[in-house]
Structure 1
Amino acid sequence: MKKSTHVLLTTIFPASESYLDDFFISLQNQTNADFDVLVINDGIKNFETYKAKYASLNIIEVKAAESPAKNREIGINTVLELGYKCIVFGDSDDYFSENRIKRSIKSLEENDLVFNELTVFGESFRIENFLAKEIKNLDRIQETIFDGNVFGLSNIAVRSEMILRKLDFDKNLIAVDWFFITTLLIQNNYKIKFLGDVQTYYRQYNNNTIGMSLLLTDQKLELGIKVKEIHYSALIRYCNTYALESYTTLFENKLKQIQNLKVELKNDAFKRRYIKFINSNFKAVFTGWWSEIINLETYFKYENKN
């Protein structure tokens, strides 16, 4: 039963079960307890034990066994149906600083979307304040959203009124967070704030989409091409549906660029050169996840400078 006007939305699944205690403990420890926890449960059978263990949290469970994109869609649409005013997103394999709910909700009083800092970690590494260290021009992030993404569904919070209509995600979307936020930002010039004093502890392991390393490999390059093809194709369909003609043209061009790159990468010698160049110049290229998959024009421009 709903008790608050604010909600933390997450999806749980068998691969995340090892990390659920970290996740729920960090929610129990929040300095603002005025929020519900809406959980989309995709396959964890003993979840009643977690609800009992963390009884101080008002956990609302919805069972769904669709694709990852469709489970996210179900979660967001359920939030809208229940009438929550503020949505804080969190991945169930991550955990959060104690001030995340309080700072996010307070900041949403004057902003439409807030996103917070990341501590990226794995078994053998830890990078504090990742966004401030790795991302250039965080104050101009709306200008870079079309090529890369910093808005994960574990470090953002939004006012629900930003979401203008019921969602219908392509079931094949991989970068659901990137698509979701992009569709919000092309609808209006929303006010966005970066919370550098709030942390999402962003866990990297072999089963998550990003993997253990940011650097390009053959496998990660292939995945990045696939992510961008699906992403831009879905955005073209979205923009056609809602008559966003200028953005349709933009994303058609982005799709064509990534398809041209895909053709060029069939040449093994060029692929080796491309991967080596990106990894050698990663800090200059990287503006968010998937931004390292740069198009041919950008690649040759960078290469000529070097």
Structure 2
Amino acid sequence: MENKKRELISIIIPFYNQDVYFDSCVESALSQTYTNTEIIIVNDGSDKVFEDKLKKLQSKYPDKIKLLTQENKGVGAARNLGIENSKGEYIAFLDSDDYWLPNKLEHQMTILKKNKINFIHNSYLIVNDENRFIGKFISNTLSYKELIRSCDIGLSTVLVKSDLIKKHLFSTISTKEDFVCWLSIVKEINSLYGDQKEVMIYRDKKNSLSSSIKVKFINAFKVYYKYENFNIIFSLIYTLNLSINWIFKTYKIIFKNPDQINFKYLSNINNLKFEESYILSALNMASLSNINLFYLHSAKFIFWIDGYCAKFIVKMFNKVPGRKLIQDLKLTEDVKKIYLCGNNSKLQINFLKNKFNSEIDFIEVPFFKELNEINKFKVTVDDRSLVIINISTPKQEILALNILNNNKNKKIFLLCLGGGISMVTGEEKIVPEILEKINLEWLWRLRSNTWFRLKRLVNTSIIFLFKIIFGYFDKTNFKNID
């Protein structure tokens, strides 16, 4: 399709006091390959600080973003206000904590035109508050009979013809408002087309879980009793059936639907090159137990083998301690600048300065209590830079991803060394060779910060064993790139 022939798509984003994820949400809408769009953000009575943030954002993109404000009435009313003020021939919905893949709209418009339909929903990937990959939902075309049993439509994947959605606005209940809308639409058009290409990352937030389940159960009953006019008995039966289907659906999302993801690893660190951006991280029990944090970013990671647990996963096992990696590391002319990022250490800075015969820029980071706090930390580094990170896993890997995301179109090489650099500089005593040979390094490290490290070790061990027992790593493939 040529630009001049492209129909306008209105993107409606309801907003209420969203802090952590909103920037990436809006960026995903602005970065669509289908560019003939208007973005309508509906402020649903947010606090003043967020209101000011939205006004600043709108002023930055005055020709693209329209800002509407209402007193707090809920997401259904917010979407309705956006629909009523939209100009597009098509309408897409995006919740403020979700994220579209770049060709979402382009792909869907192609399918709509090809199949001559006016409603489409798609498959999507699911992460939690910490950006840990949970699973994949696979969409299907749904009739009323199928939809009434299970609301299998991801709202932020929906693209619908404007004149259709304007006849079927959202209800004002606090949850399931979209279910009511889809049921109303399917009665008119008979089926809701489901395309299986994933186009969105959905964030499954677990705040107030028990009260949320209670509210969802009550609202599900309302869907059947109030909006579909079922009697009390049938409403209860369908509500219970909806809950049972949710259990089976969740199992499929986590264990059956995800595609196998390819990761890369090196068995010989001398083969490391400085050509395209990457994150180099240790493959050990800590990283393997947190592998779901890296699932969506697998192409950005290269691992080296640092722990015995990797023997269960990789074919070519050649263990290299982090301290040996930094000792043997040789840079090329492709690297123009070196940073140490994390905990301030004069010993480490001087070691790196002497080793590489180069000035070392230091980037100090605050203590991150929660993993999602790292996304708020913004840092800019020079092109063709080596960034060595010295905090613990998985915080250092998330920080590395954050640095890459904030320095796009640059070649950045990030080394997640954790405590390895502390040992090579003498800040932490080197593990005795006899313990290293029998893979008891963890026992040596318990000498300091014993209680903290023991808790972390037990927690990591349980998660790793759980993943092994339930075949989690069957969905991963580690490929040697030496």
Is the TM-score greater than 0.5?
yes
- Aligned residue among 33, 37, 51 for 1:45: 51
Distance 1:101 1:73, change over 3 A: same
Alignment of 1:153-172 (within 5 A): 153-163=155-165, 165=167, 167=169, 169-172=170-173
Which residue does 1:228 correspond to in 2? 220
1:64 aligned onto 2:42: no
1:13 aligned onto 2:20: no
Which residue does 1:205 correspond to in 2? 205
1:125 aligned onto 2:125: no
1:8-66 per-residue CA deviation (whole Å, 9 max, x = no partner) reads: 1110110x23211101111222111110001111213111222244x286001110124
Residues 86 and 108 in structure 1, CA contact (< 8 A), matched pair in contact too = no
- Report the Cα offset of residue 283 of structure 1: 2.3
Structure (1/2) with the larger strand percentage: 2
TM superposition score normalised by structure 2: 0.44
Residues 119 and 159 in structure 2, CA contact (< 8 A), matched pair in contact too = yes
Q: Which has the larger radius of gyration?
A: 2
- Report the Cα offset of residue 229 of structure 1: 1.9
- Alignment-mate amino acid for residue 56 of structure 2: T
- Cα distance in structure 2, aligned partners of 1:25 and 1:56: 15
TM superposition score normalised by structure 1: 0.66
Which residue does 1:245 correspond to in 2? none
- Cα distance in structure 1, aligned partners of 2:127 and 2:220: 25
Which residue does 2:92 correspond to in 1? 88
- Alignment-mate amino acid for residue 72 of structure 1: R
Distance 1:204 1:61, change over 3 A: same
- Alignment-mate amino acid for residue 107 of structure 1: I
- Report the Cα offset of residue 284 of structure 1: 7.2
The aligned length equals 238
Which residue does 1:113 correspond to in 2? 119
Which residue does 1:302 correspond to in 2? none
RMSD after superposition: 3.4
Residues 112 and 120 in structure 2, CA contact (< 8 A), matched pair in contact too = yes
- Cα distance in structure 2, aligned partners of 1:261 and 1:179: 14
Alignment of 1:126-275 (within 5 A): 126-128=133-135, 130-132=136-138, 138-140=140-142, 142-163=144-165, 165=167, 167=169, 169-190=170-191, 192-207=192-207, 219=211, 222-236=214-228, 251-253=229-231, 255-259=232-236
- Cα distance in structure 2, aligned partners of 1:179 and 1:261: 14
- Report the Cα offset of residue 170 of structure 1: 4.5
Which residue does 1:291 correspond to in 2? none
- Cα distance in structure 2, aligned partners of 1:284 and 1:17: 30
Residues 142 and 194 in structure 2, CA contact (< 8 A), matched pair in contact too = no
SS in 1 for 2:230: helix
Distance 1:33 1:57, change over 3 A: farther
Which residue does 1:270 correspond to in 2? none
User: Structure 1: which 5+ residue stretches go unaligned?
Assistant: 212-217, 237-250, 266-273, 289-306
SS in 2 for 1:111: coil
- Report the Cα offset of residue 160 of structure 1: 1.5
Q: Which has the higher contact order (CA 8 A, sep 6+)?
A: 1
Residues 4 and 36 in structure 1, CA contact (< 8 A), matched pair in contact too = no
- Cα distance in structure 2, aligned partners of 1:233 and 1:196: 32
- Cα distance in structure 2, aligned partners of 1:66 and 1:12: 10
- Alignment-mate amino acid for residue 94 of structure 2: G
Residues 114 and 157 in structure 1, CA contact (< 8 A), matched pair in contact too = yes
Distance 1:118 1:222, change over 3 A: same
Which residue does 1:283 correspond to in 2? 248
- Report the Cα offset of residue 117 of structure 1: 1.5
Which residue does 2:34 correspond to in 1? 32
SS in 1 for 2:137: helix
Identity of aligned residues (%): 18
- Alignment-mate amino acid for residue 99 of structure 1: N
